[in-house]
Amino acid sequence: MSRKISVVLSIIMVFTFIVTLTNETGFGAESDRLVEVSLITRPKASSPDEFETITILAEEMRKVGIDAKVDVMPWEQMADVVWYDRESWDITGWQMTARPERLDPDEFTYNLFHSSTAETGYNFIGYINNEYDEVAEKQRVTVDKEERRKLIYKSQEIIAEDVAYIFSVNPMVNIVYNNQVFAESSIKEMAGLGIKNFWTYLYAEPISDQKDLVLNSNDTVQAVNPLYISGSVDSWITELVWDRLMRMGQDGLPKPWAAKSVDWIDKTTIRVVLRDDLRFHDGEKVTVEDVKFSFEVPKTGEAPMYKPFVDIIDVINIEDDQTLVFKLKKPWAAFETASLAKINIIPKHVWEPVIEDLKDKPENAESYQEEVPVGSGPFKFSNWKFSEEVVLSANEDYFQPPKVDKWIVRFVENMEATFGMIQNGEINFLATYLGDNQLLQQRVKEDEKLTMVSSIDLGFRFLAPNHRIRPFSDKAFRKAVAALNDRELIAALVWKGFAVPSDGVISPALEYWDNPNVNYPEAGLQNARKILEEAGYEWDEEGRLLYPDA
Amino acid sequence: MNLRWKYLIKRTGQMLLTLWIIATILFFIFRLMPGNPLVAYIDPTFTEEQQEILMKQFGLDKSLWMQYIIYIKNLFQGELGQSFFFKDSVINVISKVLPNTIYLMLTALIIAYTAGIVGGIFLAWKRGEMIESVGIVFTLFTRAAPQFWVGMILLAIFSFQFDIFPSGGVSQAGTVYSSELDKLLSFQFYRHLFLPALTLSIYLLGLPLLLMRSNMLDVMDESYVEMAKIRGVSKIRVLVKYAARNAFLPVITAMAVGIGYAMGGNVVIETVFSWPGLGRLLVKAVSTSDYPLAQGAFILIAGVMVFMNFVADILYSLLDPRVNIDSKR
pLDDT per residue over A459-469, tens digit each?
Answer: 999 999 999 99
**pLDDT higher at A49 or B59:** A49
Distance CA B140, CA B279 (A): 25
The rounded percent of chain A whose pLDDT value lies above 70 is 94
Instruction: Kindly indicate the confidence band of residue A26, based on its pLDDT and cuts at 50, 70 and 90.
Output: very low
Is any Cβ of chain B less than 8 angstroms from the Cβ of A424?
A: yes
Higher pLDDT, B297 or A176: A176
* Residue of A75, A414, A419 to mutate, testing the B interface (most B Cβ within 10 Å of its Cβ): A414
Residue type, A112: L
Number of separate domains in chain B: 1
> Could you give the CA distance from residue A421 to residue A520 in angstroms, rounded to a whole number?
43
Do A366 and B37 count as a contact with CB atoms less than 8 A apart? no
Task: Tell me if chain B has a CB within 8 Å of the CB of A299.
Answer: no
The tens digit of pLDDT for each residue in A208-237 reads 999 999 999 988 888 899 998 777 788 899
Could you tell me if B98 lies within 8 Å of chain A, comparing CB atoms? no
Q: Identify the residue with better confidence: B71 or A260.
A: A260
8 Å CB contact between A252 and A238: no
A254 — alpha (psi -120 to 50), left (phi > 0) or beta?
beta
Separation CA A341–CA A94 (nearest Å): 27
pLDDT of residue A358: 87
Cα dist. A433→A240, A505, B237 in Å? 22, 24, 58
According to the model, what pLDDT value does residue A359 have?
85
CB pairs under 8 A between A and B: 134
Closest residue, chain B, to A112 (C-alpha): B45
Contact B304, B295 (CB under 8 A): no
CB-based contact A491:A497 (threshold 8 Å): yes
SS (H, E, C) chain B: CCHHHHHHHHHHHHHHHHHHHHHHHHHHHHHCCCCCHHHHHCCCCCCHHHHHHHHHHHCCCCCHHHHHHHHHHHHHCCCCCECCCCCCEHHHHHHHHHHHHHHHHHHHHHHHHHHHHHHHHHHHHCCCCHHHHHHHHHHHHHHHCCHHHHHHHHHHHHHHHCCCCCCCCCCCCCCCCCCHHHHHCCHHHHHHHHHHHHHHHHHHHHHHHHHHHHHHHHHHCCHHHHHHHHCCCCHHHHHHHHHHHHHHHHHHHHHHHHHHHHHHHHHHHHHHCCCCCHHHHHHHHHHCCCHHHHHHHHHHHHHHHHHHHHHHHHHHHHHCCCCCCCCCC
pLDDT of residue A531: 96
Among A residues 237-296, those touching chain B with beta carbons less than 8 Å apart = none
Which residues of B are less than 8 Å from A83 in CB distance? Answer: 39, 44
**pLDDT tens digits along A104-137:** 999 899 989 999 988 878 899 999 999 999 999 9
Over residues A403-425, the mean pLDDT reads: 92
Task: Tell whether B44 is within 8 A of chain A (Cβ).
Answer: yes
CB contact under 8 A, A411 and B274: yes
Q: Alpha carbon of A189 to those of A254, A366, B233, B321: distances in Å?
A: 15, 32, 79, 74
Helices B245-272 and B187-220 meet at what angle, rounded to 10? 140
Average pLDDT per 10 consecutive residues for chain B, totaling 329 residues: 76 89 85 63 56 66 82 82 82 90 92 93 88 92 90 94 91 89 92 95 91 88 82 81 80 80 77 90 82 85 86 76 55
Please say if the pLDDT value at position A20 is more than 60: no
CB nearest to A388's CB, from B36, B163, B276? B276
- Report the distance separating Cα A27 and Cα A307, nearest Å: 52
Residue type, A431: A
Q: Tell me the β-bridge partners of A390.
A: A384, A409
Split at pLDDT 50, 70, 90, the class of A80 is: confident
How far apart are the CA of A358 and the nearest CA of chain B, in angstroms?
Answer: 14
pLDDT of residue B199: 94
* Interface contact flag, A222 B87, Cβ < 8 Å: yes
Q: What local confidence, expressed as pLDDT, does residue A75 receive?
A: 81
Contact A203, A463 (CB under 8 A): no
Which whole number is the average pLDDT over A84-97? 92
pLDDT band at A302 (very low <50, low <70, confident <90, very high): confident
Q: Give me the residues of B, 239-268, that contact A with CB < 8 A.
A: none
B106 vs A350, B109, B120, B142, B255, CA distance in Å? Answer: 43, 5, 20, 19, 11
pLDDT value at residue B58 = 62
Q: Quick one: CA torsion of B314, B318, B319, B323, rounded to 10 degrees? A: 80
Residue type, A60: E
Name the residue facing B169 among A79, A388, A416 (closest C-beta).
A388
**B274 close contact with A: CB closer than 8 A:** yes
For residue A513, what pLDDT band results from cuts at 50, 70 and 90?
very high
Q: What is the phi/psi pair of residue A222, to 5°? A: -85, -45
What topology is assigned to A34-170+458-546 in CATH? Answer: Dipeptide-binding Protein; domain 3 (3.10.105)
Q: Which helix (H) or strand (E) holds A460?
A: strand A460-465
Is the CB of residue A268 less than 8 Å from the CB of residue A258?
no
Q: What is the CATH number of the domain that holds B180?
A: 1.10.3720.10
Q: Which residues of A touch B274 (CB under 8 A)?
A: 388, 410-414, 417
Contact (CB, 8 A) for A142 and A501: no
The pLDDT tens digits for B76-129 are 887 887 787 887 888 999 999 989 999 999 999 999 999 999 999 899 888 888
Q: Let me know if residue B44 belongs to a domain.
A: no
With beta carbons less than 8 A apart as the criterion, state whether B212 and B251 touch: yes
B154 touches chain A (CB under 8 A): no
Which residues, including other chains, have CB under 8 Å from residue A54's CB and lie 6 or more apart? A39, A40, A41, A70, A93, A463
End-to-end CA distance of chain A: 47
Are the C-beta atoms of residues A91 and B48 closer than 8 Å to each other?
no
Q: What is the mean pLDDT of residues A423-444?
A: 91
Query: Quick check: A430 and A176 in contact, CB under 8 A?
Result: yes
Q: What integer pLDDT is reported at residue A27 of this predicted model?
A: 46
How high is the pLDDT of residue B248?
Answer: 80
Cα distance from B281 to chain A (closest Cα, Å)? 8
Residue B284 CB neighbour total at 10 angstroms: 24
Reported pTM: 0.83
Q: Is B264 within the bounds of a domain?
A: yes
In the predicted structure, residue A185 carries a pLDDT above the cut 90: yes
Alpha-carbon radius of gyration of chain A: 28
What does the pLDDT read at residue B235? Answer: 80
Strand-pair category, A379-385 with A389-394 = antiparallel
Interchain pair A386, B97: CB under 8 A: yes
Domain limits at B255?
A: 90-328
> Nearest residue on chain B to A308, judged by CA atoms?
B46
pLDDT 10s digits, A339-357:
999 999 999 999 999 999 9
Residue A279 DSSP one-character state: B
* Mean pLDDT within A43-57: 92
What does the pLDDT look like over A99-111, one tens digit per residue?
887 889 998 999 8
